[in-house]
Structure 1
Amino acid sequence: VNQRDPQILVLAPTRELAIQVAEAFHKYAKHIKGFNVLPIYGGQEYGGQIRSLKRGVHAVVGTPGRVMDHIRKGTLNLDGLKTLVLDEADEMLRMGFIDDVEWILEQTPKTRQIALFSATMPTQVRRIATAHLTNPAEITIKMKTATANLIRQRFWPVSGMHKLDALTRILEAETFDGMIIFVRTRIATVEVAEKLSARGFAASALNGDIPQAQRERTVDQLKKGKLDILVATDVAARGLDVERISHVVNYDIPHDTEAYIHRIGRTGRAGREGDAILFVAPRERRMLNAIERATSKKIELMELPSTELINDKRIAQFKQAIADTLATEDLGLFKHLVEQYQNEHNVPAIEIASALAKLVQGDSPLLLQHKPVPRADKAWESRGNDQPRTRDRGKGSERSERPQRPRKDAPPEKGMQRFRIEVGHIHKVMPGNIVGAIANEANIDAQNIGRINIFDDHSTIDLPADMPEDIYAGLKKVWVAGQTLNISREGEAPKAPSKRSPARRGDDDRGRVFEDSKPGKGPKSSRDAGDKPVKKSKPGVKAREREREKAAAKAKAKTATSKAKKTKEAGKAKKKANGKPSL
């Protein structure tokens, strides 16, 4: 305790996790007099951190970037370090911090002890463990123990209803204390939180664009019960440890199973039971199966609450609000006013009460209009009996029973408009790549993306006709299969595609831009929409014909130019011979 230089250094991937670990240090060391711990992370002023380090601290908990800054400035002395902890090493790898971690490891004394914690063990994390740990003991917690026993996992197949409406029904029907709703992008956190707030829920966004002080206030409000719902990205919610979180909703399905495990780990903590709900679009069924394999548990199919159930709950809440007001409020003045109005206008008290209730309710209807809740189709219900496809269809071929596929030249459906995008078969693109890129970058729900027709060197796609211009402009710059979409409305001439390499954005809430010298290569986060490296391939028949036509037109133009030049020169020579000056 008398040593002034840090003896323990904990590296954490996010500011929130660094704060949580520092709070845990305070809790565990409350009986050790004079013990000091300091969290250091970006977003705070250097001055306060430097003053605390000069006064002396026993443990430092920090994010890799800020720890490196202090080491380089000479304000963090690691000569007396005895223990180094790498917390959530796989997340630091995913966020691109692994090189920073190795640099920090090289600055520490060889005599320090290292502890590494990781939810998964990717190759690079295991390589670090092998290189820097001495005869380490590996302790593994079985996935089944970690998730299956305490957390009830359910999924809702996205079909026939907007995700926000489905989420609203779930929030009204489920009994929950605190909740985290996970979305993919920072923009989505704000949009979903604002829409939920407008529907009467105590919700707030949590993402990397929000100032650190505001983020800390938001988490504190959740802990104290002043806030019930956080809408967050994976990174912003990393390390959150709030006991009252009873539910986790995966509004957007995660990109990998590790992210799912981390997400649902926000609930079911400290021996409490938790609920995890997953929204799954038809194209995301493979990820659902992968999650089930990773967690060693079958995820239940969830039916949305019916209109009748929601209305029953709303009526019960309405009656309870009346009972609570009658029991706790001084109603003397209002009784007098109602009685006065009744005598003056000869209106029954029941009608006055009804008018007051309508006044309080406002324009928002108390009850939902009756709409049948879409049920999961048989394909979802019989997931467990999926059989591999075979070439042998048997005698009773099902081909004739299937609905005929729409022709490629069929017009768009009502409310949709057809667009052209400059990516096609020669770029090895698949419909899922296009849907994923547009859904992620433009925040357009996959169910609002219409027919996709893929041709040799381009494709067409049907999108909402009322798509905002800013989203349309943004889609021009989206990259798929190593190509910019360069989207244009069908019939318009597309602009020449950019020859510049893409500035890849892994929208994982870090605000970092990855730039590559070659299209199609980059961090994994930039390829989540199927943007894989493109292999060189031979152009299609139509593409070759177009190239030949271009070459012929170019040669014809060159011949015409040469002929015109010769004619002009002959004219000049003739005028000169006649004694006339040439102009």
Structure 2
Amino acid sequence: MSNDKILFEELSLPTPILSAITELGFVEPTPIQQQSIPALLAGNDVLGEAQTGTGKTAAFGLPLLARIDENINAPQMLVVCPTRELAIQVAEAITDFAKNIRGINVATVYGGQSYTIQNRDLKRGPQIVVGTPGRMMDHIEKGRLNLDNLKACVLDEADEMLNMGFLDDIEWILDHVPEDTQMAFFSATMPAPIKKITSQFLTDPVHVKIAVEKQAKANITQRAWRVGAIGKTAGLERIAEVVDYDAMIVFVRTRNDTLTLSEHLVSKGFKAAALNGDMQQQDRERIVDQLKNGRIHILIATDVVARGLDVPRISHVINYDLPFDSESYVHRIGRTGRAGREGEAILFASHREMRLLNRLERATEGQITPFDMPDASQLSKHRIEKTKEKLVSVAASPNLEKYAEVLAKFTEETEITTEQLAAAMLYQLQQKLPLFPQADPVDKRGERRGRDGMRNDRGDRRGREGGRERRNSGDFATYKFAVGRAQGVKPSDIVGAIANEVRINSREIGNIKLFDNHCHVELPKSLPGQGFEKLKNVTIRRHKINPSLVEGASHSSGYDSENRGKRPPRKRERFNDDRSMKTFKKKSNKPRREERSVPTFN
């Protein structure tokens, strides 16, 4: 087929379908649509290879809709998807394409939704069924999903189903599909197992392979922040507060992290929510709807549940944790900058992870530029400006006379000037978000750097201990927190929680000793303000820390868990039981697996 631009009306689609896509604003088909639609309309099997976000749903949905007989109330088109979110999205899109065809019904079947709802929908005889492999197999096996009238079967995101371990399920479903069914496989990549089932179940397929267009990638600006001394959580807060965005997705690695991070952001006043695989399906659908409707602005999610999520409001993607492979990174940033919209992707990388950026650039055929995190002075200017805007808006209210009288009475009774009272009110107003936040800790790592200050960071560590400047041991007091390794706590969690909640510089935190169910943390003897009272309200990984002062603790030779690069000292320790003296073997200086894992990209 020619590469010249054509219009949908030139693709021989039925009039009801053309009118529907015209109403939806579709004018020119994408490359995958230009080549797939004629092949599927001609009755050929199709093997489509194209990246996410290139319009594959319309590429198979529009031509296969043309084969549906709306007078037959039985499944005629089957679409198998790897995730519930993608199945819902595909079903919604096909419903929109078929809105001008009377009698067409679309049903979705996926795990997590009530069988009652799905059984009812299948009894109505939908012509199109979209779902995930496991639930689809269940309905076929129980006789609720009859494939006798099936005309077309589609595998969407076939490589992702392979990655998620659905290969056997896919083969089982395809074995139950009638032999004369038209087949269409769509995948971002074409690994060997996909090629195998292609040769087994497709007949002389038309292979449509679309290269990623540079113009589409140019809509996404990729940036990287080398995580500084303020830590990831504080960095995310600053982006959420200062950067101009409509909505953002923040990608983390674990389901527990989605909850921990979203709860933290909510406690800071941000409209955030978690999305993970442990949630009930109705809750997940509700959260996605809230994101679409603008009731929440920040979604904290894992890779799998966000696969296929297409919300126009998403202007930013934050890679809070780097993915384990470059393909996942491509899918992540593909949640923004879709359908011609502009987007920005920001990744958080430690100094060790910065060397991996070249591989991500090759995978996306783009450039990752440095992201300058707003510093404390910029944060101060932003908050002052926002406070001014709020006060100016309130000052325009016509109902301030009584308050002005109260203010005048205050000045008369206390002999305090109006300016002093206004300053006192402003001070009270900014307690949660200080107008003058503490200066950022100096990050002395990476004084000699490579390209754009983003590579080869070998900070001068002379005169420092494990990257942290040590203070006199007499300046510290040791506190016991009721969290430890059993709760999945790491030193970075402790530093971040204390620095954010107690408002002290992370450099003022001393040694951290992790035990199974508690930890010892060195903090300044004179905590700022109501420091100890604030400590009582701190939670780390959703656990209250219940701080208490450790009397008579030594601060001179403890092993600093935060400084894992140091060799811990040999020591003798006296026990109160029959083991009067025991010599301890030297501990390994290797970090625990969860703390030293660095993602690799294939």
2:324 counterpart residue number: 255
2:513 counterpart residue number: 465
Is the aligned partner of 1:152 residue 2:221? yes
Change (3 A) 1:117 1:385: same
1:205 deviates by 0.7
2:315 counterpart residue number: 246
Q: Is residue 147–residue 295 contact of structure 1 (8 Å, CA) maintained in 2?
A: no
1:39 deviates by 1.0
Per-residue CA deviation, residues 464-520 of structure 1 (Å, 9 max, x unaligned), is 414562899x9xxxxxxxxxxxxxx998999xxxxxxxxxxxx9xxxxxxxxxxxxx
Q: Is residue 85–residue 116 contact of structure 1 (8 Å, CA) maintained in 2?
A: yes
Change (3 A) 1:254 1:132: same
Q: What is the TM-score with the length of structure 1 in the denominator?
A: 0.67
1:295 deviates by 1.0
1:381 counterpart residue number: 450
What is the aligned counterpart of 1:264 among 328, 333, 350?
333
Equivalent position SS for 2:306: coil
Equivalent position SS for 1:75: coil
Is the aligned partner of 1:324 residue 2:393? yes
2:29 counterpart residue number: none
Question: What pairs with 1:29-40 in structure 2 (closer than 5 Å)?
Answer: 29-40=98-109
For residues 208 and 372 of structure 1, what CA distance do their matches in structure 2 show?
Answer: 37
Per-residue CA deviation, residues 218-267 of structure 1 (Å, 9 max, x unaligned), is 11111111100000000111121100000000000000011001000000
For residues 270 and 338 of structure 1, what CA distance do their matches in structure 2 show?
Answer: 55
Equivalent position SS for 2:337: coil
For residues 71 and 110 of structure 1, what CA distance do their matches in structure 2 show?
Answer: 16
Q: What is the TM-score with the length of structure 2 in the denominator?
A: 0.65
Per-residue CA deviation, residues 417-441 of structure 1 (Å, 9 max, x unaligned), is 9xxxxxxxxxxxxxxxxxxxx9997
Per-residue CA deviation, residues 362-419 of structure 1 (Å, 9 max, x unaligned), is 35423221226648836653389999xxxxxxxxxx9xx9979999xxxxx999x9xx
For residues 21 and 262 of structure 1, what CA distance do their matches in structure 2 show?
Answer: 17
Q: Is residue 76–residue 150 contact of structure 2 (8 Å, CA) maintained in 1?
A: yes
Moved more, 274-283 or 146-155: 146-155
1:431 counterpart residue number: none
For residues 222 and 265 of structure 1, what CA distance do their matches in structure 2 show?
Answer: 17
Equivalent position SS for 1:138: strand
What is the aligned counterpart of 2:177 among 98, 103, 108?
108
Per-residue CA deviation, residues 69-110 of structure 1 (Å, 9 max, x unaligned), is 000100000111111111111211111112111111111011
Is the aligned partner of 1:291 residue 2:360? yes
Q: Is residue 248–residue 277 contact of structure 1 (8 Å, CA) maintained in 2?
A: yes
1:286 deviates by 4.7
Is the aligned partner of 1:137 residue 2:206? yes
For residues 63 and 248 of structure 1, what CA distance do their matches in structure 2 show?
Answer: 26
For residues 147 and 13 of structure 1, what CA distance do their matches in structure 2 show?
Answer: 24
For residues 131 and 73 of structure 2, what CA distance do their matches in structure 1 show?
Answer: 18
What is the aligned counterpart of 2:268 among 184, 199, 205?
199
What is the aligned counterpart of 1:337 among 406, 409, 434?
406
Change (3 A) 1:375 1:277: farther
Moved more, 279-288 or 107-116: 279-288
Question: What pairs with 1:445-464 in structure 2 (closer than 5 Å)?
Answer: 445=492, 464=512
What is the aligned counterpart of 2:241 among 157, 168, 172?
172
Equivalent position SS for 2:238: helix
1:312 counterpart residue number: 381
Equivalent position SS for 2:79: strand
For residues 377 and 296 of structure 1, what CA distance do their matches in structure 2 show?
Answer: 27
Letter in 1 for 2:78: L
Equivalent position SS for 1:469: coil
Moved more, 276-285 or 463-472: 463-472
Moved more, 438-447 or 159-168: 438-447
What is the aligned counterpart of 1:279 among 343, 348, 352?
348
Is the aligned partner of 1:99 residue 2:164? no
Moved more, 286-295 or 65-74: 286-295
1:579 counterpart residue number: none
For residues 8 and 151 of structure 1, what CA distance do their matches in structure 2 show?
Answer: 35
Is the aligned partner of 1:362 residue 2:431? yes
Q: Is residue 256–residue 287 contact of structure 1 (8 Å, CA) maintained in 2?
A: no
Change (3 A) 1:108 1:376: farther
For residues 324 and 396 of structure 2, what CA distance do their matches in structure 1 show?
Answer: 50
For residues 347 and 72 of structure 2, what CA distance do their matches in structure 1 show?
Answer: 50
Change (3 A) 1:82 1:283: same
For residues 176 and 440 of structure 1, what CA distance do their matches in structure 2 show?
Answer: 34
For residues 104 and 443 of structure 1, what CA distance do their matches in structure 2 show?
Answer: 44
1:148 deviates by 2.7
Equivalent position SS for 1:179: strand
2:564 counterpart residue number: none
Change (3 A) 1:80 1:371: same
For residues 84 and 471 of structure 1, what CA distance do their matches in structure 2 show?
Answer: 56
Letter in 1 for 2:364: T
Change (3 A) 1:279 1:4: same
Mark the structure with the bigger radius of gyration. 1
Note the residue ranges of structure 2 that are not aligned, 5 or more in a row.
1-69, 467-471, 479-484, 496-510, 521-540, 542-569, 574-581, 584-593
For residues 405 and 352 of structure 1, what CA distance do their matches in structure 2 show?
Answer: 46
What is the aligned counterpart of 2:279 among 191, 210, 229?
210
For residues 169 and 98 of structure 2, what CA distance do their matches in structure 1 show?
Answer: 29
Q: Is residue 229–residue 441 contact of structure 2 (8 Å, CA) maintained in 1?
A: no
1:420 counterpart residue number: none
For residues 214 and 330 of structure 1, what CA distance do their matches in structure 2 show?
Answer: 42
Q: Is residue 133–residue 170 contact of structure 2 (8 Å, CA) maintained in 1?
A: yes
Q: Is residue 29–residue 35 contact of structure 1 (8 Å, CA) maintained in 2?
A: yes
Equivalent position SS for 1:9: strand
Equivalent position SS for 1:236: helix
1:122 counterpart residue number: 191
Per-residue CA deviation, residues 502-549 of structure 1 (Å, 9 max, x unaligned), is xxxxx9xxxxxxxxxxxxxxxxxxx98799xxxxxxxxxxxxxxxxxx
1:13 counterpart residue number: 82
For residues 337 and 402 of structure 1, what CA distance do their matches in structure 2 show?
Answer: 58
Change (3 A) 1:221 1:385: closer
Q: Is residue 119–residue 258 contact of structure 1 (8 Å, CA) maintained in 2?
A: no
Equivalent position SS for 1:79: coil
Equivalent position SS for 1:57: coil
Aligned residue pairs: how many? 436
Per-residue CA deviation, residues 276-312 of structure 1 (Å, 9 max, x unaligned), is 0111123324532221111112211222222221111
Question: What pairs with 1:63-78 in structure 2 (closer than 5 Å)?
Answer: 63-78=132-147
For residues 217 and 124 of structure 2, what CA distance do their matches in structure 1 show?
Answer: 46
Moved more, 263-272 or 210-219: 210-219
